[in-house]
Structures are given as structure tokens and as C-alpha cells.
Amino acid sequence: MGETISITLAPDTLRAVRESVEAGEYASVDALLDEAVHALQRQRREDAERLDDIRARIRRSLDDPRPPLSIDEVEAHMEALFAQTRDERRRA
């Protein structure tokens, strides 16, 4: 059995919690909070993985013996990435 605690929620947060439970989205406040904590933990893991990936990419870039790109090459690459991201978001 879990431990009982007392928490203070902002009025809008409390309203959202109650509405979700009353709408049947969750069986109880406990179930909602349990899922919220799991979502937070999952998000933190995913953030850590992304940060590790970014660090690895930076390390590979710093260790890359090839000459650096020109500013024009960088801008062209960035524009292509932005366009790809925009297109992916539109499809989502």
C-alpha cells in the first residue's frame, strides 16, 4: 500500500485533475498522478537520451578531421533541416 501525502495544487491544476477523473479518463486522482509521474520520468529519460546523442554528435564533429564547412554550406544545410522539420510537423 502506498503512503498518504498532502499536496497543494494551483486552482487550475486541481480543476483539470478533477475534470479528468470525473470524465472517466482516470479511475482516481491516484491513478492520474501515477500516470503523470511515469510520464515525467519517461520525458526525463528521453531528454537525457537526446542530450547524450547531442553530446556524441558534438564529439564526433570535434574529432572529425575534415575541413570545416563554409557559411554558405551551413546555411543551406540548416535551411534543408528546417524545411524537413516543417514538413514533418505539417504531416503530423
**What single-letter DSSP state applies at residue 70?**
P
CB 20 within 8 A of CB 26: yes
**What single-letter DSSP state applies at residue 66?**
S
Distance CA 75, CA 50 (A): 23
Average pLDDT over residues 19-45: 98
- Residues 65-90: pLDDT tens digits? 999 889 999 999 999 999 999 999 99
Q: Identify the pLDDT of residue 22.
A: 98
Is 1 a residue whose pLDDT tops 80? no
Global model pTM greater than 0.75: no
For residue 61, the one-letter residue type is S
